[in-house]
Amino acid sequence: MHNFLKNVFLLLISFFLILFSFFTCEKNIAPVEYKTPKISLTVDEVAVTEAWLNLQTENLLDRDVLLVFRDDSVIYIGKPGPADTTLYDRGLLPAQSHSYHASLTRNNKLISESKPQSITTMDTTSHEFNWTIDTIGIYGSVLYDVAMIDENDIWAVGEIHTPETDRYDSLGNWVPPFNAVYWDGQQWDLMRIKTNACGGVDYPPIKAILAFSHDDVLFAHTDGSITYYDGNNFINDCSLITQFNGSVRKMWGVTGNDFFVASGYGFTAHYNSSSWQKLESGTDIDLLDIWGSPDGSVIWTYGYSDFIGTVLLKITGYKVEKVYQDIENWYTIRQDSISGVITSLWTDDSRRIYLVTPAGLYSARSNTTGEASRSWLANDFLPGFPRRLRGQGRNDLIIVGDFTFIAHYNGLSWKYYEELKSRIRFRSLDYKDDLVIAVGLDLNTGRAITMFGRRY
């Protein structure tokens, strides 16, 4: 009997403890905090037929529904997902205005709406150019690069031979070839730009040129030295020659005191005011072209070889990042990612990069790891190996290459100037306003070539 009463007493105590604990815990439950849902829609990029939008959200519930409108049409319906989402709207018409906004519904009721964002798509540019060709020098001459300050102030560089060069004159002095030509609006004048005999030659060929104004021009010689022109004097710098083998392939920068170079064996460097800083590229592939956003925040370079494949590098600050490499798909055509070897590149802002390969023109976001959108006339390779891409905007791009290959993209359509086809190999071009200048050599005659294209 005693044990029975003891057990009953323990059960009663346990029951009251559990009941007390239940009511105590219920009192300590914090009320659910209501957070106001927020949505924001901004315009990221606008092209001729496309727009990129950025949708940001906060404090959404699983049952919420997001809608994005272009004018009165819904272009996106979605459930809450990433707090930061990029939306792509395509199929637009050139030179058209639109308004975008986003709305948020909960239980079929509108609870939040973004501010409207207005855009006007870019217009197309004209394909119509008149083309004129000039030959310079005799057999063995070639122009590697060109820079246009304006239509009456153009430099082209390379190696130019004439009947008077490559021999001794009447006084016994060796007459070297020329390494530059200058256009004053009327004619091409042959020029010799001297180095400090950094490589043992006074007037070595010039591989690359970079011009910012008439009195701010850079020349990169094949001996590894760089000459600066201030409008009156040519000042040669040999300090870079000790850091790599071969000449600078291309240069890009903001001014003559702030520029980048790309060269063989993965060599890239930055010049700032008075000193060079080598950038570790992480590759030993030859780098063939370099270009950056106007503000200098993002710079791109690339290269290719038979054994390593094609490589795309992005430079931000003093950091070089390998964003893409491909050694297998040189002879395939993909519509949604880079295919083929990269042969040139260009950009007009920090958000997008344009690349050309034998498969066509590729447009990619700056965070690409190979993803890109292809554009060309047909689902086939280009009719000539492309060697240089330059532009004035995403609605005004020019590609040049082998077999007098010249093509213009206006953001909506292509024009391939097939009537120019011959055995000319264009090595480079520059493009400003309504004037194109392309340079290279005629494979039939071995002479240097310049070609002007004037838009009308």
The 10s digit of each residue's pLDDT in 78-89 is: 877 777 889 999
What confidence tier does 59 reach under pLDDT thresholds 50, 70, 90? confident
**Alpha-carbon distance 424 to 404, whole Å?**
5
Identify the CATH class of 38-120: mainly beta
The pLDDT of 316-340, averaged and rounded, is: 90
pLDDT over 60 (residue 11): no
Mean of pLDDT over the chain: 90
**Alpha-carbon distance 82 to 39, whole Å?**
12
Q: Where in the chain is the domain with CATH 2.130.10.10?
A: 129-455
pLDDT over 90 (residue 275): no
Q: Which range scores top for mean pLDDT: 3-12, 35-44, 94-103, 269-278?
A: 94-103
Q: Where in the chain is the domain with CATH 2.60.40.10?
A: 38-120
The pLDDT of 206-216, averaged and rounded, is: 96
pLDDT of res. 199: 74
| Superfamily holding 129-455 | YVTN repeat-like/Quinoprotein amine dehydrogenase (2.130.10.10)
48: Cβ contacts below 8 Å, ≥ 6 apart? 92, 94, 121, 122, 123, 124, 394, 395, 410, 411, 412
212: Cβ contacts below 8 Å, ≥ 6 apart? 253, 255, 256
Instruction: Specify the range with the lowest mean pLDDT, choosing from 65-74, 136-145, 328-337.
Output: 328-337
Q: Which range scores top for mean pLDDT: 154-163, 277-286, 302-311?
A: 154-163
pLDDT of res. 82: 75
The pLDDT of 429-435, averaged and rounded, is: 97
Q: Which residue has the tokens 């009997």?
A: 1
pLDDT over 70 (residue 14): no
Instruction: Specify the range with the lowest mean pLDDT, choosing from 62-71, 80-89, 239-248, 442-451.
Output: 239-248
pLDDT tens digit sequence for 281-300: 999 899 999 999 999 999 99
pLDDT of res. 331: 79
pLDDT over 80 (residue 115): yes
pLDDT of res. 372: 97
Q: 184: which 2 tokens? A: 């004053």
pLDDT of res. 33: 54
3-state DSSP of the chain: CHHHHHHHHHHHHHHHHHHHHHHHHHHHCCCCCCCCCEEEEEEEEECCCEEEEEEEEECCCCCCEEEEEECCEEEEEECCCCCEEEEEEECCCCCCEEEEEEEEEECCEEEEECCCEEEECCCCCCCCEEEEEEEECCCCCEEEEEEEEECCEEEEEEEECCCCCCEECCCCCEECCEEEEEECCCCEEEECCCCCCCCCCCCCCEEEEEEEECCEEEEEECCCCEEEECCCCEEEECCCHHHCCCCEEEEEEEECCEEEEEEHHHCEEEEECCEEEEECCCCCCCEEEEEECCCCCCEEEEEEECCCEEEEEEEECCEEEEEEEECCCCCCCCCCECCCCCCEEECCCCCEEEEEECCEEEEEECCCCCECEEECCCCCCCCCCEEEEEEEECCEEEEEECCCCEEEECCCCEEECHHHCCCEEEEEEEEECCEEEEEEEECCCCEEEEEEEEEC
pLDDT over 50 (residue 8): no
The pLDDT of 153-168, averaged and rounded, is: 97
What confidence tier does 238 reach under pLDDT thresholds 50, 70, 90? confident
The pLDDT of 436-455, averaged and rounded, is: 97
pLDDT over 60 (residue 164): yes
pLDDT of res. 356: 97
**Alpha-carbon distance 54 to 39, whole Å?**
11
Burial of 350 (0-12, 13-18, 19+ CB in 10 A): middle
Task: Please give the model's pTM, rounded to 2 decimal places.
Answer: 0.88
pLDDT of res. 21: 47
Q: Are 377 and 414 in contact (CB under 8 A)?
A: yes
Burial of 16 (0-12, 13-18, 19+ CB in 10 A): exposed
pLDDT over 50 (residue 25): no
pLDDT of res. 244: 53
pLDDT tens digit sequence for 389-416: 999 999 999 999 999 999 999 999 999 9
